[in-house]
Structure 1
């Protein structure tokens, strides 16, 4: 064996050379890896004893992609294009042996081999679009030449990886290897040599594109139309499509120039910077200040859920879906039966869509125990309270849990706003209490705010975060304050939205400005969806707010087709004249002189106070870092990912100084952190 450098070595199995990359943890295409590959293929180019080359990786995966830590830094080491050229120009066949994942630059390297084999669990893809980019090393030009333009467009714009079996069917790999991958790849290479197969370069074969520019034009047009809503606001999907069109219409080298031009535009743009920020921010959010990342976690092998309503049922599904038994508790049999039926119906609907089998539905439901007795939670490792927002009732429940739950059990509240320390004080073990704020629908939404109480034990906090990850959530630690991170900032936006519609903006104007910004819906659409009567009571209503009067007039939102908007049978909406008249009458009673309000003012008044509140949250230590706030808003409230989150947007797009000046014009107290930087 010959060590080319610290991460690449070269050995021979008879007349087959084996180049091995060993650069933990994921064999990313760092400068050292590129240098090693460059040295290996230069050495092999002059070795007449070698009849074929196998490229394989040690560890858990093939080349998983580019080394993102090198983005934006001065280039060093061998160029990736140079390594690819050396592979393609090899005088003997090169076989890429893929296991784990071959993503991004990893797949682009594999596409420069003459043949590709994979183990049965391998996954291959070009996920650059998820970072606001496109494959910049020939991926947009080689991929369509091997899987066809239609499949390439789908793969590059979704970024989703393809499993090995599908890759074989698409022609992306030439064989699936059973048993030892390296041995299988060497055997495949010997077969290639014995059969005298040609050194076919992907770049030189256009036979699989699926047609020429004219015949494929309708496919591209239909693809754009079908995905217009999904791609709205994003620059990278369209750039990927343009590059695939270039692969169809132009010779390889000209297509490469298009790819390079489009790549550089994206790399230098704000959207890719924002999406790369989000990529790293998600990973940073998992790190908890002051805690040893290697500290032992508490076991969570069984979970109790208190409340079988929308939230409780959704929370239960998260655990059932990953194999954790759940005992769910309600106070009345009717509510319990209804909650269990909803869980079953949700699972059956997923099965009907082909996401899993009916046997899996039964397996998941078989892990669920329903009961009316809180005492049945005595053996649960974690208990999540998911009742409505009433402090006194929550304190009563936690007081009872204190006498029921076993020592060491984690006692979690799904509260959206309330003081976790006050809830914890109702027990004799406040160190076991933590907030776990799921977002509705809890079985779908990714965000989990994990609220660290003043006395929450480190192992309890760490276990809550780890449990969130285990059930597919993105956890963010928050301190104890009203509304925590997300709802505290949302309150500031809603406050301004409510003022705007009294001062002259229509609810549909406010919603339109925010959806144009990139939110999936505006605040009044959201209110209609949630239900205007949540927390409202006809018995106690005094008509003191617009919402009171809407509810008193029978406007409940989407649930009865009347709210800020009127809804038809397909839930298409039009602004409600009844709601608008109620707003006008209320404004007149309050002596508000209405005026024309422009889109820029709407956007500034809705978003600037949010950013300011985020800065205050950082001032108070309620969030660990500004990027955590961004992750909360992207995953819990629909902030457009291509804008990077509210704090990134303030720092890199809107401008902190401009926001501070705007807030001062509004007469608001500006956080010192906003002026100083995050």
Structure 2
């Protein structure tokens, strides 16, 4: 085997050349890989004895995509287009042998082979849209020529992956190889040579496009309309659609020009920068400052959960779904039965949607042990308390757990605001206590705030983060402060939102401005959804706040169809005249002179204090890095991913100086980090 570069080798199996890419961990299309492929195809072209070539990858995957660390940097090495041209124009058939994933540029390379084979587990996709981009190496032009325009639309606008079986049915691969992939690919190459099969160039085949531009216009229109809500605010989906339209309407080279033009527009735009930031920030969040990455993890083979309500049941599902047994505890049989029934119903609904079988439902439920006895948690490796947000209740539970839980067990609190150190102090083992703030619905939401107490041990912290990853969560480490990262910043936003509706803005105005910005819902929609009476008591209410008075008037939110909005049977909302009257009366009673408030002021007063609070969190060391704050808000609170998170937005869009000056005009205490940068 001859090394073309340090990561690409060329070997001869008789009259078949075998090109092997070996560039761990994912064989990304780095400059060294591109140079190696360029050299390999030059060598193949210079060898008249060769009859075919096979492209394979070592390690766990085929080419998994571009090397995004090169984005935004001066180009070096052979261009990807030059490599693709050499491959496509090869005088001998080229067979791409695919295992693992062929994603992005990897699939675009494979589409330049004359034939493609894979193993049974291979997956294929063009996920560039998730980075605010589109496939920039012919993917939007070649893919529809293989799978059809409609399927290509679905793939490029969602980034969804296609399995080997579907890829074979769609014509994306020509054969699924059983046994050794390289040997199977070589045998396939010899067979197509013996049979005299043509050099199939995807670029020249228009038979699967499904018709001309006029015939497909209704399909494109329907696709845009049906996905309008999902694509709202994003630039990349529409650019991808335009490129698929070009594949249908134009010759290949003209379509490539459209693809290139749209790619460059996206690449130079802020959304792509923001989405790349998020991509790297998610990975950075897993790194824990001051913690040895080799810290030994504690075993988590069984989990105990205290509380079978909405949060406890949702948390339990995360573990049951990945094969970890759960013992769930309640104080009353009725509450326990109700919680278990909700878990079963959720799983059965998923099975009805085809996500897994009814047998799998039973398997997951079989891992659940319901009980009324706290003592049944004595052997659990991890115990998560998920009860009412009350310090006295939580301290009482942890005091009991201290006498029940086995030595070395992790004791976690699903608190969203309370002091984890105070909770830990109710035990004799504060080093075993950590905060695990799940977000509702806990079986769906990706974010997990892992709260590091003053005495939380490195092993417990590392294990909590690793466990979060194991159940599909994105863990972010927070220090101990009221509300941690996300809810602390949410409090700053809500304070201003509440002032705005007294000073002259309507709740619907505030919600509209924030949903126009990109949030899935505004603060008053969110309050109605959660329930205005959460934490409110009729016995202790004194009408001190607007919320008190709304609840006293019987307005509870969506649960009874009356809140800041009135809701019909289908949960369509209209602003509530009752709520508006209560707000107006309250403002008059407090002597507040109402005025007209424009959208820009609403946006600034809701978001600027949030950014300032985020800067204070960083200044106090409650978050490890600004990008962690962004990940919390994107994954826990619906901050639009194409805006990169509040700290990215402040740095790259709104401007830190602009925000600081506005906050000073509002008379607020501005964080030094907001002025100096993070």
Q: How would you bin the TM-score normalised by the shorter chain?
A: over 0.9
Q: TM-score, normalised by structure 2?
A: 1.00
Correspondence for 2:20? 20
Correspondence for 2:562? 562
Give 1:6 shift.
Answer: 0.4
Q: Does structure 1 residue 87 correspond to structure 2 residue 84? A: no
Correspondence for 1:181? 181
Correspondence for 1:575? 575
Correspondence for 2:52? 52
Secondary structure in 2 matching 1:436? strand
Correspondence for 2:155? 155
Correspondence for 1:536? 536
Secondary structure in 2 matching 1:477? strand
Q: Does structure 1 residue 361 correspond to structure 2 residue 361? A: yes
**CA offset digits 1:517-570 (Å, max 9, x no partner):** 000000000000000000000011111110000000000000000000000000
Q: Does structure 1 residue 371 correspond to structure 2 residue 380? A: no
Correspondence for 1:290? 290
Secondary structure in 1 matching 2:85? helix
Give 1:340 shift.
Answer: 0.4
Correspondence for 1:334? 334
For residues 671 and 283 of structure 1, the distance between their equivalents in structure 2, rounded to whole angstroms, comes to: 27
Matches within 5 A, 1:135-150: 135-150=135-150
**CA offset digits 1:241-298 (Å, max 9, x no partner):** 0000000000111100000000000000000000000000000000001112122100
Matches within 5 A, 1:32-71: 32-71=32-71
Correspondence for 2:275? 275
Matches within 5 A, 1:159-558: 159-558=159-558
For residues 403 and 492 of structure 1, the distance between their equivalents in structure 2, rounded to whole angstroms, comes to: 39
Secondary structure in 1 matching 2:18? strand
Give 1:12 shift.
Answer: 1.0
**CA offset digits 1:88-116 (Å, max 9, x no partner):** 01000000000000000000000000000
Q: Does structure 1 residue 110 correspond to structure 2 residue 110? A: yes
For residues 384 and 170 of structure 2, the distance between their equivalents in structure 1, rounded to whole angstroms, comes to: 46
For residues 468 and 5 of structure 2, the distance between their equivalents in structure 1, rounded to whole angstroms, comes to: 40
Correspondence for 2:594? 594
**CA offset digits 1:168-204 (Å, max 9, x no partner):** 1111111111110000100110111010000010001
For residues 231 and 622 of structure 1, the distance between their equivalents in structure 2, rounded to whole angstroms, comes to: 34
Question: Where do 5+ consecutive residues of structure 1 fail to align?
Answer: none
**CA offset digits 1:489-513 (Å, max 9, x no partner):** 0000000000000000000000000
Question: Where do 5+ consecutive residues of structure 2 fail to align?
Answer: none
Correspondence for 2:5? 5
Correspondence for 1:129? 129
For residues 414 and 500 of structure 1, the distance between their equivalents in structure 2, rounded to whole angstroms, comes to: 32
Secondary structure in 2 matching 1:4? strand
For residues 29 and 358 of structure 2, the distance between their equivalents in structure 1, rounded to whole angstroms, comes to: 42
For residues 98 and 574 of structure 1, the distance between their equivalents in structure 2, rounded to whole angstroms, comes to: 54
For residues 103 and 293 of structure 1, the distance between their equivalents in structure 2, rounded to whole angstroms, comes to: 29
For residues 235 and 197 of structure 1, the distance between their equivalents in structure 2, rounded to whole angstroms, comes to: 42
Correspondence for 1:648? 648
Q: Does structure 1 residue 638 correspond to structure 2 residue 638? A: yes
For residues 160 and 626 of structure 1, the distance between their equivalents in structure 2, rounded to whole angstroms, comes to: 29
Q: TM-score, normalised by structure 1?
A: 1.00
For residues 205 and 333 of structure 2, the distance between their equivalents in structure 1, rounded to whole angstroms, comes to: 67
For residues 354 and 338 of structure 1, the distance between their equivalents in structure 2, rounded to whole angstroms, comes to: 25
For residues 478 and 496 of structure 1, the distance between their equivalents in structure 2, rounded to whole angstroms, comes to: 24
For residues 408 and 522 of structure 2, the distance between their equivalents in structure 1, rounded to whole angstroms, comes to: 43
For residues 193 and 339 of structure 1, the distance between their equivalents in structure 2, rounded to whole angstroms, comes to: 63
Give 1:642 shift.
Answer: 0.1
Secondary structure in 1 matching 2:5? coil
